[in-house]
Amino acid sequence: MRISIIKNIFFYSILLSILSTNAKAQDRNLTVSQDSKFEQLLNEKRKINPSLTVNERYKIQVFSGDSDKAKKTLNDCKQNFSDLDGTIVFNTPNYKVWVGNFRTRIEAERNLIEIRRKYENAYLIKPQK
């Protein structure tokens, strides 16, 4: 009785191992088609406003919050600091107002001192890629 149970277990384990070697994964390729106009529009936008891309430069974050206040803050900031270009960046769930595009930290900190006179909560950032 005990030997027949062991034989059955051995037989089924061999059978299972043989059948499982024939199992295969999916072998299909996925093709994604993208409209060529999309890439063209993206390149045009980058040409118009190169500060939209994340790079190795320092920026000053002036505001983080809802969309309407971000737009108002950006317009106000452009009036007060016309020599600095600014943009709104959406980072779930907040809209962030970034100004400046500084090569060195010293240059950014000098401008930060001026900006903090108007926007107390402003701080220096270096966006990551």
- With beta carbons less than 8 A apart as the criterion, state whether 123 and 56 touch: no
Asked if residue 106 belongs to a domain, the reply is yes
Is the pTM higher than 0.85? no
Task: Compute CA distances 87 → 49, 80, 92, whole Å.
Answer: 9, 15, 16
Asked if residue 81 belongs to a domain, the reply is yes
The residue segments making up the domain with residue 89 are 55-125
Q: For residue range 20-67, what is the model confidence (pLDDT) as tens digits?
A: 665 565 667 777 777 888 788 877 777 776 555 556 789 999 999 999
Asked if residue 94 belongs to a domain, the reply is yes
Domain count of the chain?
Answer: 1
